[in-house]
Structure 1
């Protein structure tokens, strides 16, 4: 497998309208194998950090099962507006599709799929909180919907964040505006148990440039 540090703002797949995407560069990551690597899981376009690729079919299938059965440890860093009153906790909130038009957007739904996130506050400052989030389940947009529903949306979230909600209330066209922050959600660490007889592979991605200013306000020391 390969674990790469995905930049924010770049989709992993080629969209219906084309454009730049991460998969287009996978041929350069063959390193002697006959085929390029394949995605073992997904990250949103605006999420940065650890992304796992399988180098061949058998590896991709094995990794897929690990992800499917929740064997892979995932820790995300997020900077949120406001923040929780406590220092750690668990969000157990089922999620369902928002509507048929936006099939990949989610909302809290008592009849939806089970979705569980654990969280810890790493720091606070300037009306923000720096959280370490661990998704127990892997639903689409889970971390973004959970934090928003709890009243502390992720900074720069152009779907579930504060500014996005205000735009929808005003019925404004849904497009990010120039100068607004990029989504402050980063796949910080991934832990993969690839063998029963060896320690799991643990990889950490450095904090991306666009999150560093607000992380520092919350007490991050640069490590």
Structure 2
């Protein structure tokens, strides 16, 4: 399926990007897997992966994890409002190995999202470069001239009313990639306070969930997979 046209997806700059109120969820860590080299967690929506720049945004998943597992090291991130599977290393060697899994695109991820409107085609690919919208950070945008390559496959799982449930498979890891690419299709992710703020009140969170992660284990070299069903 040909990529959608960037001219049809040009973003209208808002007069203001509202700052979000950080009120992270409480509760114990949800550990999906743990061994001598890695720790795999379920990250709840609303919790930063790493500390933010402001003083009131120091509570995050890595700080909570290190309070229980002092040797935990960050490998990758999920957006604050995204829930799902995330992996941490327990040694510098494992951290470097896993970093290469992501950098060399050997790590495979899938996401579940609920989109605004009905996608009539059952599957397709968005191949549009993404760059920062410097005037309105942290917003990103389709940027054919200066953006970095970004590719996302999508598959419809269900349609109900005026929304579509999809599985998303990113082949690159650009900031806000899935959110920008779905907006480019004309079907933003529901509950997105940056790209679809009019849907936030009805959903309370971004309807985006990291469902699965598959990569090679840093100790055994064997491919391992981790899964957490979407909570919506």
Fold match (TM-score > 0.5): yes
Shorter-chain TM-score bucket reads 0.7 to 0.9
How many angstroms apart in 1 are the aligned matches of 2:73 and 2:221?
24
Which residue of structure 1 lines up, in the alignment, with residue 139 of structure 2? Answer: 105
**Alpha-carbon shift at residue 206 of structure 1 (Å):** 2.4
Which residue of structure 2 lines up, in the alignment, with residue 220 of structure 1? Answer: none
Aligned partner of residue 207 in structure 1, secondary structure = coil
Q: Identify which of 40, 62, 65 aligns with 1:23.
A: 62
How many angstroms apart in 1 are the aligned matches of 2:219 and 2:152?
26
State the Cα deviation string for residues 61-113 of structure 1 (Å, max 9, x = none): 000011011000100000001132210110001111112451x3210111210
8 A Cα contact 2:84 2:210, kept in partner: yes
Which residue of structure 1 lines up, in the alignment, with residue 49 of structure 2? Answer: 12
Aligned positions, number: 192
Runs of 4+ in 1 over 6 A off after TM superposition: 195-198
Q: So what's the TM-score if we normalise by structure 1?
A: 0.80
Tell whether 2:221 aligns with 1:184. no
Any unmatched runs of 5+ in structure 2? 1-37
8 A Cα contact 1:153 1:162, kept in partner: no
Q: So what's the TM-score if we normalise by structure 2?
A: 0.77
Any unmatched runs of 5+ in structure 1? 165-175, 212-223
**Alpha-carbon shift at residue 28 of structure 1 (Å):** 3.8
How many angstroms apart in 2 are the aligned matches of 1:195 and 1:99?
37
RMSD value over aligned CA atoms?
A: 2.0
- 93-102 or 121-130: which moved more? 93-102
